[in-house]
Chain A
Amino acid sequence: MTAADERPLTSYDRRMYRLMNRREGDALHATAARRRAVVVGHVALTAVAVAAWLFSVVGEQRWATFAMLGLLLPWCVATGVINSSTRGLLELRVRALDERQRAERVQVAARSRSVMLWLLLAVAVGAGALTLKGADTEGYLFPVLFSVFVVHWLMPLWVAGLSVRDEPHFDEGVDGLDDLGDLGGAAEAADARPPRP
């Protein structure tokens, strides 16, 4: 943690905090199954958008440009849903996060790094095997590198989206101390299973 992480929140930080904590779309990521579906959808949209971009830039296909533009809106919506489910874990500055969120952000970064390590290893092994076979891989260099770059960029978002736990029931007002359900939970809280290391 740096000194910058302890500075007071700016108006930008506060605006982003409010944005990431809006509750209108909560139903879209209320359960683990929905969050998984959103992340899988985001991965698929990203894959198709990257392919379309490569077709338009490398293959010079005009239709691909329009396809990419068409995918932009659903991709942004899916990104927003994942960010909303994590309450801005990756989008907010560290100083806008509390101790639990900071710890989760570090965990997400570590998991993403592990996944990327294996992915890069697979790409390196694949490229090495093709080169040994004498295949002409030169034309694939840019598309593969660009795809890996995009995956590297978005992996933390996907990992964060899949790591989110179900939201504690919201109880804004005291009258809505609605989850005495959780209280069934004084016992439950006391006997809750230890978090996994």
Chain B
Amino acid sequence: MSEHVHNRLAMVRAERKVSRQRLAEAVGVHYQTIGYIERGQYNPSLDLALKVAKFFELPVEALFSLEPFRPLTDQVYGRNQ
């Protein structure tokens, strides 16, 4: 049984212009693993989640959450859905 972990990895990766391959090499996993995390098909271990957060210099909760993330536009413009 596994809890679904929501993530913003694809968005942050695109924003920082980091390829999956580069991120994968930086955190020591296969590039497919990054893709599966982005697709929600694999939940990373705490170790891997922390490594990814460290790579982007973000707190881990900025990238991973048990609750769905609010759309960025809502966050930026303070609109409620």
Contacts and interface: CB of A to CB of B under 8 A. Distances in A.
B26 to A, nearest CB: 13
A99 B48 contact: yes
Contacts of A176: 19
Indicate the size class of the contact surface on chain B.
Answer: 35 or more
Nearest to A21: B30
Interface in B1-23: 1-4, 6-11, 13-14, 17-22
Nearest to B17: A174
A59 interface: no
A165 B36 CA distance: 9
A22 interface: no
Nearest to B65: A190
A191 B22 CA distance: 25
B50 to A, nearest CB: 13
A195 B7 CA distance: 14
Contacts of B21: 170-172
A174 B10 contact: no
Contacts of B4: 192-195
A187 interface: yes
Contact of A197 (B1, B29, B35, B39): B1
A100 B22 CA distance: 18
A168 B18 contact: no
B14 to A, nearest CB: 5
14 contacts: A98-B29, A99-B44, A101-B33, A168-B38, A169-B35, A172-B19, A185-B39, A188-B39, A190-B6, A190-B7, A190-B69, A191-B6, A191-B40, A195-B4
Interface of A: 87, 97-101, 165, 167-174, 176-177, 180, 182-183, 185-195, 197
Interface of B: 1-4, 6-11, 13-14, 17-22, 28-36, 38-45, 47-48, 68-69, 71-72
Given A101-B33, A189-B6, A189-B40, 18 more contacts: A98-B29, A99-B47, A100-B30, A168-B20, A168-B38, A169-B35, A170-B21, A171-B20, A171-B21, A176-B19, A182-B10, A190-B40, A190-B69, A191-B6, A191-B40, A192-B41, A194-B2, A197-B2
